[in-house]
Amino acid sequence: MNARQGFVGQSVVRREDARFLTGRGQYTDDITLPGQTYGVFVRSPHAHARIKKIDTRAAEKAAGFVGVLTGEHFKAVGGLPCGWLINNPDGTSMKEPRHPVLADGKVRYVGDRVALVVAETQAQAEAAAALVEVDYDVLPSVVDASKAAGAAALVHDDAPCNKCYTWTIGDAPGVDAALAAAAHVTTLSFVNNRLIPNAIEPRAANAQYDVPGDSYTLYVANQNPHVERLLMCAFVLGIPEHKMRVVAPDVGGGFGSKIYLYGEETALVFASKVFKRPIKWTATRSEAFLSDAHGRDHHTTAKLALDKDGRFLALKVDTTANLGAYLSTFASAIPTILYATLLAGQYTTPKIACTVNAMFTNTSPVDAYRGAGRPEATFVVERIVEAAAHELKMDPAELRRRNFIKTFPYATPVGLTYDTGDYNATLSRAIELADVAGYAARKAASAAKGLKRGIGYACYIEACGIAPSAVAGALGARAGLFEAGEVRVHPTGKVTVYTGSHSHGQGHETTFAQVVADRLGIPLEDIDIQHGDTGKILFGMGTYGSRSLAVGGTAIVKALDKVIAKGKKIAAHLMEASDADVVFENGVFKVAGTDKSVPFASVSLTAYVPHNFPHDKLEPGLNENAFYDPSNFTYPAGSYICEVEIDPATGAVRIDRFTACDDFGNVINPMIVEGQVHGGLVQGIGQALLENCVYDDASGQLLSGSYMDYAMPRADDIPHLQVETVKGTPCTHNPLGVKGCGEAGAIGAPAAVMNAVCDALGKQTVPMPATPFNVWKALNA
């Protein structure tokens, strides 16, 4: 680290902001290519139906019509792949029904893709699409995972009882024995409500086929362009990977929903060759509601065994997870590997067992959404711990403290080894910041006004920096989970860094530059960070699971180490010293113990103008790349405290204060980290109080399909948040000591808010989201 510059740890304002603030961002829909055409998808109006006939004759006569494709055209190509294999307890594999690019014989959810209509203008494409006549034979549907096993509807013929898999982890007999013998058992059943991600930029793609080169360029709103390219080329369309360039330009938020390979962009790429024209498609918000991969949707029953002193003995969890109609790219891993492995939370619970039944339903596919399994796990653990505290009439903070893991590394009974942490530190600081000492007085003041006040804690842990590839592979991952970085030093000492981590709001162009500036001792202005283009970046696994800095940042650090190592050799040659005597400090190579020195830019110039150069030992140039595969996950953790005030007459919940205290290890840019926490918290508060994806049980129609029906958090729904990142416990196994901060808020907030609501009402059975109606019903039950 460079002591003189010290960009690391500073709230450097973002370098990427200027283009966004002046309207010069370049999002996918902003790109219009020569000869541009426009695509519109005909979507299923039914939750489940057989397609009897598709008649495109009228559409073909429409003004500006270019072409139409239906499922027939995709029979010869692959289905959209699922990237994670989950096995049943008997060793058989999960069911993987074909996930067609366009519906093939059947539609399985409202919004399922039936046809792609291409025309000269957007309006003409919409008009032509409206003329496509589809004759359906409507079938019974099921949308509720808890009813899927016994439903009349069979989503896929090759998945009996609509089951994708049953998956188990942990010592079930041991857990049952502990439950039977325990002094106290707390039982809780709840639904973790289904959410729709709602990045404000809808999904979009623009596919172009180059005839002379027999090659493709795809612009797409995506979080991991290399993964998109690999999946589309190798598993679906059979396009040679080197003939496809995927560009994810400025992307307007992702939150998971833009990780996946979707049928829309796949159909566009295929069609761009058929029609020999570039085709652009941008989802309307209505389409986004219907067809983006949704999140959460768990039905869970949990039992916590405690001894007479409140020590946790065992945790048993049974979850039914809704996967939707098809397996999205990482769908199978979310309610299993990314969920049940976190059920130890921050506690020493010695025995944990979990069973997950994952079901197909006639709903949009469900996959990772900010937090991805970890919010669901935290909700289980933190709700049941809080419920146990209420049953035992113990202080919820004290009950948690009594069970905190205090020595590290700590191997949980569900497969993870936490490298470091200090859970007491974050809880104590949160209690201080939230003025828990003054709570009783505030509660009395609320009561005097006829209002019910409650307080709720959530002490979350997450596994980020996904992942050691070998571990992930052993658990069923069909991909590696490393990251790649390249540091290209130009002759003048300016630097371009290429990273496989895509930035869609996270501020990589600033944070990564801070790391590079300190390591190389050069000004921020001399550094450019490039991402999001398979034509420029050597490889990348992309941005999700709060992994960018921990994994992508480390890959850059490894490449920087190589640059410095080579630079030392060049400098040694220039100074006629031995390699071992050269040190690099503050952007200058020096011979230790002498006044000889060569600046960084002289070394880079020598590398590219190698007149006086150790050609016998080194190649010219100063350009290094590195791949980094982490040795463990990282484990960010923290404590959140929420205080609510509820009007019993209306059921309206007002968050009076929300306090977050997080340990993210080392922090490169505190301002950006705080912003990430704010955003995560508001998504978590949104889940707890506002947001709910609802399908009609009878018809399978999406009832929450617009911003008038799906309650997005608005500025005036949210209180001022008190956020602090403690000095913390640096990650022990990456050189930056960083853990990741992108999802924490969404992971910890729902449990904190619901615990506060339940505390206020004195009931543990309030459904999430705690809307006024749900709260009023719980109060008057």
Partner 1 sequence: MPILTLNVNGKAVSREVDPATLLVTFLREDLRLTGTHVGCDTGQCGACTIHVNGVAVKSCSMLAHQAAGASVTTIEGLAAPDGSMHPMQAAFNQCHGLQCGYCTPGMVMSAVDLVKNHKCETEAQIREGLEGNFCRCTGYQNIVKAVQQAAPATKAMA
User: Does residue 675 interact with partner 1 by CB under 8 A?
Assistant: yes
Span near partner 1 by CB under 8 A; candidates 106-114, 302-310, 349-357, 701-709? 701-709
User: Is the Cβ–Cβ distance between 235 and 81 less than 8 Å?
Assistant: yes
User: Does residue 773 interact with partner 1 by CB under 8 A?
Assistant: no
Backbone CA torsion sign across 252, 253, 258, 263: negative
Q: Which of residues 612-671 bind partner 1 (CB under 8 A)?
A: 671
When binding is defined by CB under 8 A, the residue of 630, 745, 748, 750 that contacts partner 1 is 745
Q: Three-state SS for 53?
A: strand
User: Does residue 718 interact with partner 1 by CB under 8 A?
Assistant: yes
Q: Which of residues 200-219 bind partner 1 (CB under 8 A)?
A: 200-202
- What's the burial of 378, exposed, middle or buried (CB within 10 Å: 0-12/13-18/19+)? buried
- H or E segment to which residue 209 belongs: strand 204-210
DSSP string covering 336-352:
TTTTGGGTTTTB--SEE
Task: Compare residues 29 and 297 and give the one whose CB is closer to partner 1.
Answer: 29
- Minimum Å distance from CB 725 to partner 1? 14
Place of tokens 């543990």: 764
CA–CA distance, 483 with 559 (Å, rounded to integer): 12
User: Does residue 13 interact with partner 1 by CB under 8 A?
Assistant: yes
CA–CA distance, 310 with 647 (Å, rounded to integer): 33
**Residue 767 gets which letter from DSSP?**
P
- Minimum Å distance from CB 676 to partner 1? 8
**Residue 760 gets which letter from DSSP?**
H
User: Does residue 199 interact with partner 1 by CB under 8 A?
Assistant: yes
User: Is the Cβ–Cβ distance between 259 and 547 less than 8 Å?
Assistant: no
CA atoms within 13 A on the CB side of 339: 35
User: Is the Cβ–Cβ distance between 745 and 368 less than 8 Å?
Assistant: no
Over the window 80 to 119, marking each residue x when it contacts partner 1 by CB under 8 A and - when it does not, the resulting string is ----------------------------------------
- Minimum Å distance from CB 53 to partner 1? 29
Task: Compare residues 652 and 671 and give the one whose CB is closer to partner 1.
Answer: 671
- H or E segment to which residue 208 belongs: strand 204-210
User: Does residue 679 interact with partner 1 by CB under 8 A?
Assistant: yes
CA–CA distance, 582 with 346 (Å, rounded to integer): 45
CA–CA distance, 380 with 336 (Å, rounded to integer): 14
Over the window 423 to 442, marking each residue x when it contacts partner 1 by CB under 8 A and - when it does not, the resulting string is --------------------
- Minimum Å distance from CB 443 to partner 1? 23
When binding is defined by CB under 8 A, the residue of 58, 123, 447, 649 that contacts partner 1 is 123
Q: Which of residues 18-37 bind partner 1 (CB under 8 A)?
A: 18-27, 29-30, 32
Backbone CA torsion sign across 750, 203, 483, 77: positive
Q: Which of residues 273-332 bind partner 1 (CB under 8 A)?
A: 282, 284-286
Span near partner 1 by CB under 8 A; candidates 17-25, 78-86, 416-424, 564-572? 17-25
Span near partner 1 by CB under 8 A; candidates 314-322, 324-332, 546-554, 715-723? 715-723
User: Does residue 506 interact with partner 1 by CB under 8 A?
Assistant: yes
When binding is defined by CB under 8 A, the residue of 475, 583, 712, 779 that contacts partner 1 is 712
Task: Compare residues 27 and 109 and give the one whose CB is closer to partner 1.
Answer: 27
User: Does residue 504 interact with partner 1 by CB under 8 A?
Assistant: yes
User: Does residue 255 interact with partner 1 by CB under 8 A?
Assistant: yes
User: Is the Cβ–Cβ distance between 175 and 316 less than 8 Å?
Assistant: yes
Rg of the chain (C-alpha set): 27
Q: Which of residues 223-252 bind partner 1 (CB under 8 A)?
A: 250-252
Structure tokens belonging to residue 313: 């003995």
Sequence-ordered list of residues with C-beta below 8 angstroms from that of 305, at least 6 positions apart, any chain: 175, 178, 179, 181, 182, 184, 185, 312, 313, 314, 315
Task: Compare residues 23 and 213 and give the one whose CB is closer to partner 1.
Answer: 23
- What's the burial of 13, exposed, middle or buried (CB within 10 Å: 0-12/13-18/19+)? exposed
Place of tokens 């016998």: 616
CA–CA distance, 776 with 24 (Å, rounded to integer): 47
CA–CA distance, 385 with 305 (Å, rounded to integer): 10
CB neighbours (10 Å) of residue 37?
24
Structure tokens belonging to residue 462: 């997450």
**Residue 237 gets which letter from DSSP?**
I
Task: Compare residues 249 and 396 and give the one whose CB is closer to partner 1.
Answer: 249
Query: Total residues at the site for partner 1 (CB under 8 A)?
Result: 59
Structure tokens belonging to residue 334: 């979310």
User: Does residue 680 interact with partner 1 by CB under 8 A?
Assistant: yes
CA–CA distance, 404 with 383 (Å, rounded to integer): 16
- Minimum Å distance from CB 740 to partner 1? 16
- Minimum Å distance from CB 506 to partner 1? 7
Span near partner 1 by CB under 8 A; candidates 460-468, 483-491, 503-511, 604-612? 503-511
User: Does residue 721 interact with partner 1 by CB under 8 A?
Assistant: yes
**Residue 629 gets which letter from DSSP?**
-
Span near partner 1 by CB under 8 A; candidates 69-77, 273-281, 690-698, 703-711? 703-711
Task: Compare residues 204 and 766 and give the one whose CB is closer to partner 1.
Answer: 204
Span near partner 1 by CB under 8 A; candidates 13-21, 104-112, 169-177, 725-733? 13-21
When binding is defined by CB under 8 A, the residue of 5, 37, 198, 604 that contacts partner 1 is 198
Residues that bind partner 1 (CB under 8 A): 11, 13-14, 16-27, 29-30, 32, 123, 198-202, 250-253, 255, 282, 284-286, 504-507, 671-672, 674-675, 678-683, 706-708, 712-716, 718, 720-721, 745
